[in-house]
Amino acid sequence: MGQKQSAQDHFDRILDGDEENITILQRNGSPTFKKQKDENVKPNRTKYIIIGVVIALLLAFTLLSLNILFAYFVAGSYVFDKIFYVNKEGYHRDCRENTYESFTTNGDCQGVTTPNSANYSRFIVPLSHLETNISFPSRDSFWAEKEENGGTIRGTFYNYDNLTSRPVVIVVHGYKACRMNSRVMLVSAMLWQHKYNVLAIDLRNHGQSDAYTFQKPYITFGSEEHKDVLGAYDYLVTRYRNTTLSQGRPVVSLYGESMGASSALIAFEKERNFTSAFLDSPPCNVRWTVEKRFELMGYNHKFFLSSACATAGIQSSFGCPPFANDPEQSCKDLAQQSNATNPKRIHFEWTRGDMIVPVHNLEVCENALAHPGVAVTKNVMDSKLELDQAKCNDHVYNVFLNTTAYETRLLNFFDETTK
């Protein structure tokens, strides 16, 4: 036993020696050397196999995660475009086919279009009273900085008395519409025929107004678009002063539908010289409204909107809802600014079955505006139509459901609030 141990010690000392001794052992085929070598190699081989497997699993997991992340962002980018991108080629036919001499409700919802289009001849305004190529800058310093020649808004002025004595109403269209939209033309004619001056505008990225070139033309449901309404007000003040040669201001009120209504609502809070606002179906809670739209379409709104908003910082300078200028917050700010001796006047219109901007938004607006200094009136109608939900959505339909009654409410409201 002592001799065997002594031999092993001698062998170890040889291994601890120089490479020449090891080479001699290899050449002579020393069984002790082979045994020791095998014992050293086996654990190392197992260790390397385990490390290799772990690395392969980590690589596979990383690649899978990257693929999932890539798919998530691709889906988010697609959804963001579907919600916020304005493609002028995809406009409603109103913007392409209506003229000032003849317009109809162009659409696939026959319950709305068929009974109304034939009755619009009485709402034609003579061309001699129309200035169809009005232009002015948006009140938007950010846009002006981003684009040297950007920020021009265009509109049509329905000239009753050239602002010399009668009030003026700024009329604002909705998403993917324009000032040639049948609702805008109807309301503008109603007001002009009742001795109001009217300025109907195309919001940015819509109609003939400038579209963004520093990024894709994305909407913000009024957060940025309200600055175009403020630009319209600035134009009217300048025109009034040039006409009357005074430093006074014209009496200016607002009308808006859908996104145009939320744009008008935010502008109403920002510019205290507006006298009143008639708002048809504004999205007061923008994020909830978008989520609800996904839900009604049968999609997981939390996944789709979160994926869209994950890409917002890359695609748009304005982010995701709630945006910097939010309609609900504007309602709260408006309430705080108001006083009971000179209340702000707002009227809301809604169709109860609205699937684009559900009527819950009315409750949001009312709650935010609850203050003695804000006088709110409203009208909510049932559509009472057998509608094909694939083609009809009950959105801003009141003007079609009973045009005469809508006209009466509209004119009574502005007559009372612009005295």
Strand order of the β-sheet with 274-280 is 130-137, 152-158, 197-202, 168-172, 252-257, 274-280, 344-351, 374-381
Counting as low any pLDDT under 70, the low residues of the chain are 1-43, 89-93, 106-108, 110-119, 384-391
- For the CA atoms of 387, 393, 395, 399, the dihedral, rounded to the nearest 10 degrees, stands at -20
DSSP letter at 352 equals T
One DSSP character per residue, 225-253 reads THHHHHHHHHHHHHHHHHHH-SS----EE
Between the alpha carbon of residue 168 and those of residues 163, 191, 251, 274, 344, the distances in Å are 7, 9, 6, 10, 17
Confidence at residue 12, expressed as pLDDT on a 0 to 100 scale: 52
Can you list the domains of the chain with their CATH numbers?
Answer: 2-64 (no CATH), 92-285+318-417 (3.40.50.1820)
Q: For residue 251, what are its two tokens?
A: 């009496």
pLDDT at residue number 10? 52
- Which residue do the tokens 């162009």 mark? 106
Q: How many CA atoms lie within 13 A of 297 on its CB side?
A: 11
Predicted local distance difference test score (pLDDT) of residue 415: 97
pTM: 0.85
Q: What is the pLDDT of residues 71-106, one digit of tens each?
A: 888 888 988 998 999 987 666 667 778 899 988 876
Task: Please give the pLDDT value at position 125.
Answer: 96
Can you say whether residue 288 is alpha, beta or left, with left for phi > 0 and alpha for psi between -120 and 50 degrees? alpha
Q: ∠ CA 388-85-225 to the nearest 5 degrees?
A: 100
